[in-house]
A and B are shown apart, each in its own frame.
Chain A
Amino acid sequence: MNISALSNLFIGATNGGHHEVSSSVTFTFAGILCAMIITLALEEKLHAKKSVIVGVYAIICLFAGAALGLLPFGPVVNVFDEKLNLPVYIPAVDWSVIAIIMGSALFVDITSKSGLFSWIAIKLTKTSGGDPFLLLIYYGLMTVIFSAVLNNVTAMIIVGSLTAVSLKKLERSEKLLGFLLIEGLLTNIGGLLTLISSVPNIIVGTSAGISFGRFFVVASPYVVVATAVTLFMGAKLFKIERLQGDEERAAAKNQVESFDENDGIESPGFFWFSAAVFLLFIITIATTSILPVLKDLGMGFVALAFAGIMLIRVKSTADKVYAKVDWDLLAFFVTLFVVINVMEHAQVLALIGKGLEEVIALGDLWGSAAMLVASAVFSSVTDNIPLAAMLAKILSSLQTDATSPMWWSVIFGANLGGNITPIGSASTLVAVTIIHKYNLPMSFGGFVKAAVPYAAIQITLAVFYVAIFLA
């Protein structure tokens, strides 16, 4: 039995066995949850990492929960009736999500050392011939695809870095702001394409039991339309146009030809090995839910196993790879799951669930629309991961059907909300970081002003898509 199943079993057992909790306790913990969300929103101002912020709240929650008798101490029983003595905070964590994130991060990091992603990125740059409009289209599509198969943050780092270098080479740095903004917005569109593209997808998708294939089939039509609309708007609003005249085109082509796509490839053997394993990784992840054995082990195992295969290639420097794992992100997730678990025991999620029941009662059409917009607005001002984790838990506890549009409302809302403000998602924050690195003017308000027209159209499209095709 895997850890996730064990965790679900534990959660299932405790759902039915909560202590009576007084409303004052519930409201106190709801206050702690609100305080945590506000603190997370002020992360930049406080100069504190997410893991530290949520870690502190996890300690407070666990201590208070234990002191008030809210936590189910005692052994956990698995399907073989074996009693396992685990600390109360261990089964609180959804380890399958952690495994997917950690495995994917390790896998992508090692694969990137082969030069595969930079090769693809530079090939596309050269194919554009240095034409700014074509660059925008190619970089936009690359952002969406990289966001889908890697993750939003990695995609933004790869494409954003290349954009800065190539526009400087083309002497078109004045277009950098527009490019980076559009790419930042597209990471959250691309992040909708597959189940593993973003953390909210992983959390909500796994809670709802949506397979990788179904996720892709449902999300891809929206992603195609939203990408096209975003690129069209970006080209118009930032006046990114095609080059005029043969001389201008020849000069631009000459400049991008100075990129050597093979520069980052230290070993052709490693390059082709990485390309093959990467393809296999995508195929395996996409079919995990139907593959024998693997469907039981889950996507987390697949991600960790592929990371293990790649680690063999860098076995002598594996310690350096570990050092590059985003431990802040992983610790953030672990502590967040702990906080949410305590909130569940304190009946805070049940309280929010009551509010959500009213939204759901509006019906599939209006309810899903309201849920999507609310999720987007909430995600825009704080981290979308706590929101996704909390709503996924509530929808699960309300025994929401896997085919319900509510799941998709949360997924679309949590992802697209990141396009309203620079703190709405990690990838837009990366975009703003690159913008500031190049001394381009972009305040919080400036970002909101520039991004809101795109976000409004993307969210409107999503509302119609969910309401018309999924409700």
Chain B
Amino acid sequence: MNIDELESVFKSAVKSRFEYQDISLQKVLLVDDLETDDAGAYIDKINAALGHVHDNFQIERLYFGPQETMAQLLNAIDNHDPDLICTYRNLNSSAWEFGFSLGEHLEVLTQATSRPVLVLPHPEPLGEETLSIATQVMVVTDHLTGDNRLINYALSFTPKDGRIILSHVEDEVWLNRFLDCVSKIPAIDTDLARSTIIQQITKEPNDFIKSVQESLASNRPSTLVESNVGIGSELNLYADWLKKHKIDLAVVNTKDEHQMAISGFAHAFAIEFRHIPTLLL
């Protein structure tokens, strides 16, 4: 028994605890490039979908056509000061039929604003399926522990009797590279390191999910909380999980403190799963 061992024991015992916070929406801003009639129908759909989980909110519309600039859009959003921006993939872009990007405007918008952006499938190809009432909501991240904001937002879009799936994926490629490096260090027992690192790396999100379950047992007793923690290829695992759980809405963080652009994983996720409405935070 040495200092480092004991320190590890006590550090492991310090656990992030989920703090539930009720998030309410007062003002929702739809940013679109639709004709007026289509926009009206779209607003009705948003009203129906959000009305299932939020009361007393109002929807405003902001048209963003080919003539407007990004600066004008950001300025207008600031003036509206919404709690939620609602828009769709490839806003104001003719490239919507190519599933290779979110569109330049949306990518800039998600990074330039601190407001949550609910990104829907582009309205043109999918028609009626663009937005429905969400009952199965999935939190998508590679760092779940301590992220109260992400979970609270996901909960605010989950009906009281709905199901929230808290997921956490550790990238297998990165982990294997790290363990391969460990295997070349004679001072470290490779098998022990492999088993304990894998155990610890999944233990932390699982512990945090337990604290979410404990908290919601008193705050939202009828909401079902499920756990999906895994190690693998992120996009492959999420493809399986989204299908398996019939997810209606995914909630993802987009900000990465190390880069200006939208977080690499959020970007890939939002493009890959274009048919899933995604709340970008």
Contacts and interface: CB of A to CB of B under 8 A. Distances in A.
Interface of A: 108-109, 112, 115, 118, 121-122, 154, 157-158, 160-162, 164-166, 169, 257-261, 263-264, 324, 430, 433-434, 437
Nearest to A158: B6
A165 B3 contact: no
Nearest to A162: B10
B13 A261 contact: yes
A121 B7 CA distance: 12
Contacts of A122: 10, 13
Given A118-B6, A162-B6, A258-B16, A157 B11 contact: no
A161 B13 CA distance: 12
A258 B1 CA distance: 24
A164 B7 contact: yes
A199 to B, nearest CB: 17
A422 B1 CA distance: 21
A260 B10 CA distance: 9
Contact of B3 (A121, A169, A434): A434
A258 B11 CA distance: 11
A259 B1 contact: no
B6 A157 contact: yes
Contacts of B17: 257-258
Contacts, number: 60
B9 interface: yes
Interface residues of B, number: 15
Given A162-B6, A164-B7, A165-B7, A118 B13 contact: yes
B14 A165 contact: yes
Interface string B1-37: 1110011011111111100000000000000000000
B10 A118 contact: yes
Given A158-B6, A165-B11, A263-B13, 20 more contacts: A112-B1, A115-B9, A118-B10, A118-B13, A121-B10, A122-B13, A160-B3, A161-B7, A161-B10, A164-B7, A166-B10, A169-B14, A257-B17, A259-B13, A259-B14, A260-B13, A263-B12, A263-B15, A264-B9, A434-B3
Nearest to B203: A263
11 contacts: A108-B1, A165-B7, A165-B11, A166-B10, A258-B16, A259-B14, A261-B13, A263-B12, A263-B207, A430-B3, A437-B3
Contacts of B207: 260, 263
Interface of B: 1-3, 6-7, 9-17, 207
Nearest to A110: B1
Contact of B14 (A115, A258, A434): A258
Nearest to B6: A161
Nearest to B210: A260
Chain B at the A interface: SS class: helix
Contacts of A109: 1
Contacts of B2: 157
A257 B13 CA distance: 11
B143 to A, nearest CB: 18
Nearest to B12: A263
A264 B5 CA distance: 11
Contacts of A160: 3
Contacts of A433: 3
A157 B1 CA distance: 8
B21 to A, nearest CB: 15
B3 A324 contact: no
B7 A260 contact: no
Interface centre among B2, B10, B12, by most A CB within 10 Å?
B10
A118 B11 CA distance: 11
Given A122-B13, A263-B15, A324 B7 contact: no
Contacts of B6: 118, 157-158, 161-162
A242 B6 CA distance: 27
A264 B1 contact: no
A24 to B, nearest CB: 46
A296 to B, nearest CB: 31
Nearest to A434: B3
A151 to B, nearest CB: 11
A259 B207 CA distance: 12
A437 B4 CA distance: 10
B14 A154 contact: no
Nearest to A112: B1
Nearest to A115: B9
Given A108-B1, A157-B3, A430-B3, A258 B10 contact: no
B1 A324 contact: yes
Contact of A165 (B1, B10, B15, B16): B10
A258 B3 contact: no
Contacts of B10: 118, 121-122, 161-162, 165-166, 259
Contacts of B9: 115, 118, 161, 263-264
Contacts of A115: 9
A169 B7 CA distance: 13
Contacts of B16: 258
A109 B10 CA distance: 16
A108 B5 CA distance: 14
Nearest to A169: B14
